[in-house]
Homo-oligomer: A and B are copies of this chain.
Amino acid sequence: MANSPSGDSMLDRLVRILDSFDAQNPTLTVNSLAHRADVPQATAYRLVDDLVAHGLLARDADRQVRLGVRLWELANRSAPTFDLRRAALPFMEDVNQLVGHNTQLALLHEDEVLVIERLSRPGAVVNQANVAGRMPVHRTSMGLALLAFSPAATLEGFLERHGETMLTTHPQLRRELAEIRRNGYATLDGFIDTESTGAAVPILDSRGHALAVLAVVVPRDAGILPAAVMALRTAARGISRALGA
């Protein structure tokens, strides 16, 4: 692999360029892209030309750059999340319609919660989750449910890597996770929004470990939480069965 004088490989730069786009910044000028990706401007112009020629990036009419349809196609044609999403989507629609609030599907990836799918409802409470967005494990009901139902080695590794940045102490977190395992679900008040509460139920494999998590975000203090949790638990079992777990 060709390296630049700084030892930066082509793939390093490519990943940083793709990583510069997000839901808030779907289009960028090449200059701002070079800045965000920490790539010299001349390199960025050449690399963007190449990436546009391959369809991985695209240029808008105003010369701004965005991700290319070809990249989306390549990444989604055999997406690692495909089977999970296909099994979960009908159940997510059921929960979304019966509970009447935003419903999401997520998994644990590199010590964060990665949102795979989200179904919205008009008039639903504010919700920080975006598809393909990441959220902190210990500040979301999704993350706590995923962690509580992780294999022991995953939990211990997570605590080792992230203990110092946690809000709670390890013993306290362990007690909380044990309670989530007993209950079969996690709930947590929104950490940015003061008006919402999240509820999350693991989708379990045959060994009882979380493959993913199904969650809703409901208004706080509306009394809907127990019923929403029951809808999630029922749907999560259906998804496990559909996955052959």
User: Interface residues of A: mostly helix, strand, loop or mixed?
Assistant: mixed
State the copy count for this chain: 2
Interface residues of A in 155-213 (CB under 8 A from B): none
Cβ contacts A to B, 25 pairs, < 8 Å: A1-B2, A1-B46, A2-B2, A11-B14, A15-B54, A18-B74, A19-B74, A22-B78, A23-B82, A66-B80, A67-B78, A68-B80, A69-B107, A69-B109, A69-B114, A71-B75, A72-B80, A73-B132, A73-B134, A75-B75, A76-B131, A77-B130, A82-B131, A90-B120, A93-B93
Is residue A152 within 8 Å, beta carbon to beta carbon, of the partner chain?
Answer: no
Distance, CA A107 to CA B95, complexed state (A): 29
- The reply to whether A26 and B74 contact each other, CB–CB distance below 8 Å, is no
Q: A-side interface residues toward B, CB under 8 Å?
A: 1-2, 9-12, 14-15, 18-19, 21-23, 25-26, 46-47, 50-51, 54-56, 58, 66-82, 86, 89-90, 93, 107, 109-110, 114, 119-120, 130-134
What residues of B have a CB within 8 angstroms of the CB of A131 in the complex? 76-77, 82
Min Cβ gap A179→B in Å is 29
Q: Which residues of B contact A72 (CB under 8 A)?
A: 75-76, 79-81, 132
**Roughly how many angstroms separate A86 CA and B67 CA in the complex, as a whole number?**
17
